[in-house]
Chain A
Amino acid sequence: DTGVSQDPRHKITKRGQNVTFRCDPISEHNRLYWYRQTLGQGPEFLTYFQNEAQLEKSRLLSDRFSAERPKGSFSTLEIQRTEQGDSAMYLCASSLRDQETQYFGPGTRLLVL
């Protein structure tokens, strides 16, 4: 059990550029979640996958955001045409179905200049 990993850990980009983050969940965890955490706030739910199916999306997830989980393993979160307001920590978590505990990765810190 190597834990949830995220890549990259830090990303600096210019406004208007596209960025993509990757999350590798704990092996055999079929549930995967993305959260966003801004400075001084708690994490906010963005989206949820069960296996490869995206079953829920927050209204926070504008049409510039897209997430995928091909083959039900790793997941990617893409932000198109980044804005300064997208600067945040993006956290990924995974869990087993019917298990309530989510295990979090170290996060990807995004800074949009």
Chain B
Amino acid sequence: AQSVTQLDSQVPVFEEAPVELRCNYSSSVSVYLFWYVQYPNQGLQLLLKYLSGSTLVKGINGFEAEFNKSQTSFHLRKPSVHISDTAEYFCAVSEAGATNKLIFGTGTLLAVQP
């Protein structure tokens, strides 16, 4: 079975500062990795995904993430955040080649302050 750990429940950061949101996963099989963003009272929007190939993936809104197989991590980064990036961010995994059901972490609230 897969599991996802997001150790930081909340990350406060000032506008225009860089940010990293941490995600570690556990799985005995090959997985796909995802980052989703959720704005208040809305559904989830895909930021980026890793399926295979290059371990550095770029997504929307200037976000990127790096897959590290040896450390079983998939941390999300942005070099300069904006107030509008304030939202809940979820890391998720799915088992490659299966039903693709997503297993989510508990989320990290990115709170961007002026």
Spell out A's residues near B (CB within 8 Å): 4, 31, 33, 35, 40-45, 48, 55-56, 91, 93, 95, 100-107, 109
Contact = CB atoms under 8 A, between A and B. Distances in A.
What is the interface residue range for chain B against chain A? Answer: 20 to 34
A101 B104 CA distance: 14
B73 interface: no
B100 A107 contact: no
Nearest to B100: A100
B99 interface: yes
Nearest to B96: A100
A102 to B, nearest CB: 6
Contact of A42 (B41, B43, B90, B99): B90
B57 interface: no
A42 B106 contact: yes
Interface of B: 4, 32, 34, 36, 41-46, 49, 51, 90, 92, 94, 99-107
Nearest to B44: A104
B24 to A, nearest CB: 14
A100 B49 contact: yes
A101 B107 contact: no
Nearest to B46: A101
Given A33-B102, A41-B107, A104-B36, 10 more contacts: A33-B101, A43-B44, A43-B104, A45-B103, A56-B99, A100-B51, A100-B100, A101-B46, A102-B102, A104-B43
